């Protein structure tokens, strides 16, 4: 079978080389974008008088026919035609004859493939902002149902201070908001047109890059032709944004795994989002959370893979850059899967309010508050810290919690304690005492929920 670039060659390509260098197995995913770009390119060729109008019409008709074939699954992609660009061009020529060979006038696969990638990623970014929004909605829904649910907050995975479960969930809403904003910000760097850069230096034809950009909805063409064909930083930026999202998800996953264990038993994941064991009948495993946590590794890997491919690559296009695709597609699929599953997993999760509350009743997470109590009575904080440290030690040695102590016992440590200490130590009081902007007091958390809902509406 003859190659589109066969003229200079006297020998057939080695079969293994053909297989090794082909990308059609994976870049066929860019078929829609490739045709979209070609339609805009050929329209421009007509507008600029580079091709006669009837050639342009024939080529457009042909491209739409090829598009139909691909959509119906009738197109036979071949490794002999290497990649999606040449498979489509070949099919076009088969469809409309030699006039199809005029499509590639003033264009190279180098600016063509870069254009396809921009078109592809632009769509994905919009999609991911939407999916993040759905996840935020699910988190906000659970937060609203849990503005009175108190659980221990942790530092070093040791009980620290009681917090509202809603406050904990809203922390993730903030993280995913920044993730969405990062994606939206990246859009302007993705929404640029490489086409017209030619192989590397531009083209001798009087093309109109601004017209093509406008037709494809890009903000404008790349400023520099070398940059246009050799830039993959927009993909790296996406892979980095995706890694950040997976990192955030994986932290939540870890908490789900911990919290759904018998030891914590703070939440119960819905049966539909868990799987069983082939041997142990009692098991209900949080597989989705574990897998999202695990798949974070491959998403980081794809980021590092492409960073490393691009490292030290001389300008402009190098075949190495064909390696930009599989990792990107893999990251897109992995992220789609994670986000699609996460929202319903969160909204169907059962929150074990009583169990969380029980945990708070049996810990020292109210210790900071009696230190603050003594400070309010005039003791310097450092001394108050010492007094309460001793009080806690006494409790541990006597198998008690702070709320179990009698006022006389408190007095062993400081005469400043009065009967109101027992109110101060109540978990609700402890939570609501943190009434600063961004704090865990119920009023603050309700305010945060309201603001998050408003932001989501505007996104």
Please say whether the beta carbons of 403 and 342 come within 8 A. no
Tokens 């919290």, residue located = 259
Instruction: Pick the stretch among 214-222, 315-323, 329-337, 339-347 that binds ligand ARG (CB under 6 A).
Output: 315-323
312 given a catalytic annotation = no
> Any residues with CB less than 8 A from the CB of 167 and at least 6 apart, and which?
440, 445, 448
Q: Considering the complex, what minimum distance in angstroms separates the CB of residue 82 from ligand ARG?
A: 7
Q: Considering the complex, what minimum distance in angstroms separates the CB of residue 312 from ligand ARG?
A: 18
CA 165 to chain centre: 24
Q: Considering the complex, what minimum distance in angstroms separates the CB of residue 199 from ligand ARG?
A: 7
Taking residues 100 to 139 in sequence order and writing x for each that binds ligand ARG by CB under 6 A, - otherwise, the string is: ---------xx--x--------------------------
| Nearest residue (CB) to ligand ARG, 24 versus 341 | 24
Cα separation, 48 vs 46, in Å, equals 5
Of 156, 174, 312, 411, which residue is the catalytic one?
Answer: 156
In the chain, the largest separation of any two C-alpha atoms, in whole Å, equals 101
Considering only 321, 351, 370, 421, the residue that binds ligand ARG (CB under 6 A) is 321
| Nearest residue (CB) to ligand ARG, 116 versus 237 | 116
Looking at the chain, the number of H-run helices and the number of E-run strands are 19, 6
- 23 is a contact residue toward ligand ARG (CB under 6 A): yes
| Nearest residue (CB) to ligand ARG, 113 versus 131 | 113
Instruction: Pick the stretch among 176-184, 233-241, 313-321, 330-338 that binds ligand ARG (CB under 6 A).
Output: 313-321
Strands annotated E in 222-335? 267-268
Taking residues 210 to 229 in sequence order and writing x for each that binds ligand ARG by CB under 6 A, - otherwise, the string is: --------------------
Site for ligand ARG in 35-94 (CB under 6 A): 83
Per-residue exposure over 61-77, b if at least 16 CB sit within 10 Å of its own CB, e if not:
ebbeebbebbeeeebeb
CA geometry: angle 12, 14, 20, nearest 5 deg: 130
| Nearest residue (CB) to ligand ARG, 309 versus 424 | 309
Query: Residue 150 corresponds to which tokens in the numbers above?
Result: 């108190």
Of 2, 261, 277, 411, which residue is the catalytic one?
Answer: 277
248 given a catalytic annotation = no
Query: Residue 362 corresponds to which tokens in the numbers above?
Result: 């049996």
For 15, other C-beta atoms within 10 Å of its C-beta total: 10
Query: Residue 327 corresponds to which tokens in the numbers above?
Result: 């990792």
Catalytic sites, residue numbers: 156, 277
Give contact residues for ligand ARG (rule: CB under 6 A): 23, 27, 83, 109-110, 113, 317, 319, 321-322
């Amino acid at each position: 079978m003859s190659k589109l670039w066969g003229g200079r060659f006297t020998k057939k390509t080695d079969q293994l080389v053909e297989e090794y260098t082909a990308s059609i197995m994976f870049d066929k995913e860019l078929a829609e974008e490739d045709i979209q770009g070609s339609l805009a390119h050929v329209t421009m060729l007509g507008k600029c008088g580079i091709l006669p109008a009837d050639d342009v019409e024939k080529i457009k008709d042909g491209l739409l026919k090829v598009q139909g074939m691909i959509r119906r699954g009738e197109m036979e992609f071949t490794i002999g035609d290497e990649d999606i660009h040449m498979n489509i061009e070949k099919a076009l020529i088969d469809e409309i004859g030699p006039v199809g060979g005029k499509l590639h006038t003033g264009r190279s696969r180098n600016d063509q493939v870069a254009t396809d990638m921009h078109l592809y990623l632009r769509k994905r970014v919009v999609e991911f902002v939407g999916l993040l929004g759905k996840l935020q909605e699910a988190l906000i829904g659970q937060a609203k149902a849990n503005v009175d649910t108190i659980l221990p907050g942790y530092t070093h995975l040791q009980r620290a201070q009681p917090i509202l479960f809603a406050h904990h969930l809203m922390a993730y809403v903030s993280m995913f908001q920044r993730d969405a904003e990062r994606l939206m910000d990246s859009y302007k760097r993705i929404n640029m047109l490489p086409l017209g850069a030619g192989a590397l230096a531009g083209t001798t034809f009087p093309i109109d890059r601004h017209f093509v950009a406008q037709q494809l909805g890009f903000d404008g063409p790349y400023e520099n032709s070398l940059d246009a064909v050799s830039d993959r930083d927009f993909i790296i930026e996406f892979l980095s944004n995706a890694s950040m999202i997976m990192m955030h998800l994986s932290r939540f996953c870890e908490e789900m795994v911990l919290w759904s264990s018998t030891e914590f038993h703070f939440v119960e994941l819905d049966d539909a989002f868990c799987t069983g064991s082939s041997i142990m009948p009692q098991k209900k495993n949080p597989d989705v959370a574990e897998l999202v946590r695990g798949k974070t590794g491959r998403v980081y890997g794809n980021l590092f893979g492409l960073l490393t491919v691009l490292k030290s690559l001389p300008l402009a296009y190098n075949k190495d850059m064909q390696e930009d695709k599989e990792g990107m597609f893999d990251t897109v699929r992995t992220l789609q899967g994670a986000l699609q599953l996460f929202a319903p997993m969160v909204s169907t999760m059962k929150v074990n309010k009583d169990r969380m509350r029980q945990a708070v009743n049996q810990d020292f997470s109210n210790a900071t508050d009696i230190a603050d109590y003594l400070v309010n009575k005039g003791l310097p904080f450092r001394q108050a810290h010492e007094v309460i440290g001793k009080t806690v030690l006494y409790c541990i040695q006597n198998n008690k919690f702070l709320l179990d102590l009698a006022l006389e016992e408190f007095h062993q440590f400081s005469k400043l304690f009065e009967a109101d200490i027992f109110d101060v130590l109540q978990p609700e009081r402890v939570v609501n005492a943190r009434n600063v902007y961004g704090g865990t007091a119920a009023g603050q958390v309700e305010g945060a929920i309201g603001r998050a809902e408003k932001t989501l509406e505007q996104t």
